[in-house]
Structure 1
Amino acid sequence: MSVQEPIQGTAVAVLREEGRWRCLPLPDACLLDLDRAVTELRNTRSTGAAFALLNVDDEFFILLRPTPGGMALLLSDAVASLYYDVAEDVVDALGVEPPEEDDEEIWPVGDLAILADLGLSDAELTVIAEEDVYPDEQLMMIAQRCGFGTELNAVLER
């Protein structure tokens, strides 16, 4: 694994309560440690939908969402697991084979239907994950499609 610090990016919790979206910044430590991201997200306590968006180093994104059986995860680029501990943690948690050292193709792994109940189908999320744009732009596409673009933008502009 390569040197991990400092990692740039953003970590945001997204909550839907009583029909309204709310976005809250999460600590930067969530970009380094999947367990920390899971803990911080669970500590947000929401009566409705709750999930987190992580833009790690402007290289890839991670979506995580509590489920009755644990945590649904999506990593936008499996190859990132060769270079970033947090991405390797996602691949390990998913129980999928890590990519080979010489893999260069970008492909998402995990639950592509993670936001289907919020209006973003697995097919749409696949297209977004495979877009050749920065992760912050991909996350904004997700936010706009699900209806919390304004709330996410307000947190990112702080």
Structure 2
Amino acid sequence: MAVKEPVAGFAVAVVREDGRWRCQALDAGVLASLDATITELAKLRSTGALFGLLAVDDEFFVIVRPSPRGPSLLLSDAAAALDYDIAADVLDVLRVDSPEDDEAIWPEGDLDILADLGLPAPELEVIAGEENLYPDEQLQMIASRCGFGDQFVELLDEL
């Protein structure tokens, strides 16, 4: 059995309870599998908003928002599914075929995933399509727009 190389990047759980935001690091092992990410987020149980922000290998990001009826998902670059298991997992759950090539970058999934937190779909689509930004920079923009930018940056500084 081959040992898989760990995936570079970071994963952050974001929780909003009683009007306050909290960010905490998730084990980097969750970057290898969507199931692992969903399992870790489920352990955090919250009465407020709960979602995960994953920056994978300086290539793309994933937003995972668990719910009783199944996770809402956004993959910033569908072509990442050609090279990364977690991106392929996201497309599988979304029932979207992997792209044929990796020439074009486009998001796949629920662009309204954070609309209730102040980030409408058109703005999220613009952020996801920013080819000149790294995923951590895109996620910082998302965090700032939703109102937890300071907590997010503080956590990244600790990682």
TM-score (norm 1): 0.95
Q: How much is the aligned-residue C-alpha RMSD, in angstroms? A: 1.2
Match of 2:73 in 1: 73
Residues 81, 87 of structure 1: 8 Å contact kept = yes
Deviations 1:57-107 (A, max 9, x none): 01000000012311000000000000001100000010012100x341000
Equivalent residue runs for 1:125-136 within 5 Å: 125-132=124-131, 133-136=133-136
Query: Counterparts of 1:82 and 1:28 in 2: how far apart (Å)?
Result: 21
Deviations 1:20-64 (A, max 9, x none): 000010001111011000000110111100000000001000000
Question: Identity of aligned pairs, percent?
Answer: 61
Equivalent residue runs for 1:61-100 within 5 Å: 61-100=61-100
Query: Counterparts of 1:26 and 1:46 in 2: how far apart (Å)?
Result: 16
SS in structure 2 of the partner of residue 87 of structure 1: helix
TM-score (norm 2): 0.94
SS in structure 1 of the partner of residue 65 of structure 2: strand
Give 5+ residue unaligned stretches, structure 1. Answer: none
Query: Counterparts of 1:110 and 1:51 in 2: how far apart (Å)?
Result: 15
Match of 1:14 in 2: 14
SS in structure 2 of the partner of residue 37 of structure 1: helix
SS in structure 1 of the partner of residue 37 of structure 2: helix
Match of 1:113 in 2: 112
Query: Counterparts of 1:78 and 1:111 in 2: how far apart (Å)?
Result: 13
Query: Counterparts of 1:6 and 1:36 in 2: how far apart (Å)?
Result: 13
Give 5+ residue unaligned stretches, structure 2. Answer: none
Match of 2:121 in 1: 122
Residues 17, 49 of structure 2: 8 Å contact kept = yes
Which amino acid counterpart does residue 118 of structure 1 have in structure 2? L
Match of 2:36 in 1: 36
